[in-house]
Structure formats: C-alpha cells, structure tokens
Amino acid sequence: MAANGIKKTTSLVGYAVVPNARDVLCSLYAKTLSLVQSFPRDSGYRRQSETVVQQRLAIVQADSSPESIEKKIGCGQMEELIDQAERELSLAVKMDGWKPWEPLVAAPPPNQWKWP
C-alpha cells in the first residue's frame, strides 16, 4: 500500500488499480438493482441477482476500507469485484432483452426432454 492509501499494483495480470473502486462498485450495483427491479418478482434471475447485489452493496456502503470489503465479500480484490459487477450488469441487460420469464413463442417438440 502506498503512503496515500492507494495500492501501487493489484499483482494480477490485466487488472490495473482503480483508485475510486468503492464508488465504482456502488454505481454498478445500483444500476444492476435498478434494472433487475423491472423484472417480474417471481423471476428466478431477479431473486438471485437482487439478493447477491443487495448484500454486496450493503457491505460496500457500510465499510470504507478496501481490504475489509474484499474480506467480507470474499470474491477477490476490488478490481475483480468491479469486473464481476460489470459482467452482472451486462448479463442483466441481456436478460432484459431475452425476457426468459415470458411464455414460449411455440410449444416445445414432444419428448424434447425425454432421454433414452
């Protein structure tokens, strides 16, 4: 850790240090929550992602220490958490387009799920 409180390196190939990682995470989590809240309440994707994102957002908002946040979430460094949050937001955008909770356009073929 540098004297100014910002680490010099993540020691991970491909991950540059993000000096305002906490703010970035809060923003990404808020965007994801806003989007998934437009999905039906009984959607499995909404229930699962909303739970995880709300838990992580609460940890990030309650703590200002990157090391403590990383330890409590337990899924890597702040930069890795940002990558995960960006990917979750990207998936939420795709799910919004796919709308897997809507009925099928056509009935599935007979015995589609039957195996020998």
Q: Find the distance separating the first CA and the last CA of the chain, reported in whole Å.
A: 59
pLDDT tens track for 54-78: 999 999 999 999 999 999 999 999 9
CA–CA distance, 95 with 58 (Å, rounded to integer): 24
State if pTM tops 0.85.
Answer: yes
pLDDT tens track for 68-106: 999 999 999 999 999 999 999 999 999 999 999 999 999
pLDDT tier, 5 (very low <50, low <70, confident <90, very high otherwise): low
Model pLDDT, residue 115: 87
